A and B are shown apart, each in its own frame.
Chain A
Amino acid sequence: MENTMITKQPLAEAMPVKRYQASIKAWCMDVLLWSYSFLVLYKLGYQSWWLDLRHVDFFWSEPLYSLLVGGLVASVLSYTKASVGKACYGLIAFDEGRSLFRTASVRLGLLFLLLTFIAGLQISQVSMREFFSDSGLAGAQRIFTALLNPNFAIFEDALFAAVETVYMAFIATALAIPVAFVLAFFAARNLMKNSALSFAIYAVLRFLMNLTRSIEPLVWAIIFSVWVGIGPFSGMLALFLHSVASLTKLYSEQIEAIQDGPVEAMTATGAHPIQVIWYGVVPQVVLPYLSYTIYRWDINVRMATVIGLVGGGGIGTMLMQYQGLARWNDVGMLVIVIAAIVWLMDYASAKIRAHLK
């Protein structure tokens, strides 16, 4: 099923079953969109803004009522052209000559988007008044003055902490490489699709890697700081785990993109599967691997800084400590060192990767 907004021909009578399924999906989509809108309008538009309530209670009955109202509206509108769902599932024929913005479903879609945008502003408490208030500007002046007058007395400490961060990132990357290198072969569809067993391994591995990757290194660092204690080791473990997952994915995607020719040729010589991979696959992927790995190190240095904020050691931990003490001149020094490192890593990794092309 293609989810194209602009379909020349509606999913016409030629495919009644497909059309039937698409109508149901479109209706569900409309119901969700409308109930969402009513909920947002009620909570943010009516309670927060119109009644100007400081604290808004939440009841589970509210989304249920919204769903009811949304269902009603969606059902009525499903007989008209004003349906975003129908447009998405290609059930509405678009008029070629007419501007898209004059189409009811497109206008409706934009309206939903606008609603979300306004709700977002409200929830993020965007207030120009605070931004430009006297106390606000004074605070800004205070911190900027301090940041611009960094305390050079802590320069050495900052540098040592920064070295710790860079090494932590380096070790995390270096240890992740061999693990990801091996795992990537088992996570490559083209190498694993041949038997049911290998495909099962592939699927489980993919799932685990996606799971690991979807948990931010920051969260891993919190977990490991409880596990092994606050310090560079917990930060290193967090980066290591996340790097293994990311590199495995990137590596395996490279393996999936190789030409089969050399693999077939190596198999035909009677080579052992390990030899086939070493001679038929590896030469095709080493360069992209190197490039990705250096990029990963670069990312890890940045992440190591952030991870330090939750106790992963290095310059991030130092930053957190001084920030807690409101020693803004010291923070200013740290910010300069961090910026310098990030810029340096960025520059170096870009240079190296350009040479690897």
Chain B
Amino acid sequence: MTLLRSEHLCKTYPNGTQALNQINFSVEEGEFLVVIGLSGSGKSTLLRCINQLHPVSSGAIHFEQQRLDQLQGRALRQQRSRIGMIFQQFNLIPRKSVLTNVLAGALASTPIWKSLLGLYSKEQREQALAYLRIVGLEHKAYVRADNLSGGQQQRVAIARALMQNPKILLADEPVASLDPSTSHSVMKYLQKINRELGVTVICNLHFLSLVRTYASRVLALKDGKIVYQGAPEDIDEQWFTTIYGEEAVEVSIN
């Protein structure tokens, strides 16, 4: 079943940069879609247009039965809460415990006054601990999040996204700040929640070897346009030069 569909999506920033140009694609439920492209090709912009962190300039984003680009206020927040997101810089709340960070994923379903006082229900706490167990960090629940290593912080961010009970997870270069072996460990967790929890994933990646290992489908951007859509195995030398340019050497990672 089609979960997400982008139609003629265009995004021009207020300073005049056209970051996305006529983007058409759809995502089926359960997919692990990887978006590749050079830095500046519009990958981050695409993910932020999906959950409306950036308003789109024209075109439509369909998510299940909703037009996300037309939602506002409460309705938008409600749909956003069903779309998890993780970031290259993890974006955890500094000075707060790991558990508090994970519980922040439940903000949309918690009354404002309760969340200001930190009054989460017992079920929410247990849920948070359960998600921490999934990413293997239950023992770190009461440690300050900014004291963790990069890989651990990203796993906390994954747990926080899971706390939203999302249909889909957007990952913006989730391993770009991590070393190779940590990268694989984080990607494995994403794969696990994709396969075991059935969460659809859209993930921006830089390295082609990771793409071949984890992607069920690939979408390549260049200068804000889609230049390739298809199976990861089908990206050959020629496609590679189209996407990354003549001088590119296949960047690998093990």
Contacts and interface: CB of A to CB of B under 8 A. Distances in A.
Given A266-B104, A268-B53, A270-B164, A275 B79 contact: no
A271 B81 CA distance: 8
B188 interface: no
Contact of A270 (B77, B89, B116, B160): B77
A274 B25 CA distance: 34
B80 interface: yes
B160 A269 contact: yes
Contact of B93 (A268, A272, A280): A280
A295 B77 CA distance: 40
Contact of B116 (A268, A274, A283, A284): A274
A344 interface: no
A262 interface: yes
Interface in B73-125: 77-85, 87, 89-96, 104-105, 107-108, 112, 115-116
Given A269-B160, A278-B116, A262 B91 contact: yes
B51 interface: yes
B63 to A, nearest CB: 13
A267 B93 contact: no
B80 A266 contact: no
Given A262-B92, A278-B116, A270 B79 contact: yes
Contacts of A267: 53, 80
Query: Which of A270, A271, A275, A283 is most buried by chain B, counting CB atoms within 10 A of its CB?
Result: A270
A272 B112 contact: yes
Interface residues of A, number: 20
A262 B101 CA distance: 10
Interface in A86-107: none
A271 B89 contact: no
B94 to A, nearest CB: 6
Nearest to A258: B94
Contact of B81 (A262, A270, A283): A270
A264 interface: yes
A265 B115 contact: no
A347 to B, nearest CB: 27
Contacts of B53: 264, 267-268
A311 B115 CA distance: 46
A261 interface: yes
A272 B91 contact: no
Interface in A247-278: 261-262, 264-272, 274-275, 278
Interface of B: 51, 53, 77-85, 87, 89-96, 104-105, 107-108, 112, 115-116, 157, 160-161, 164, 170
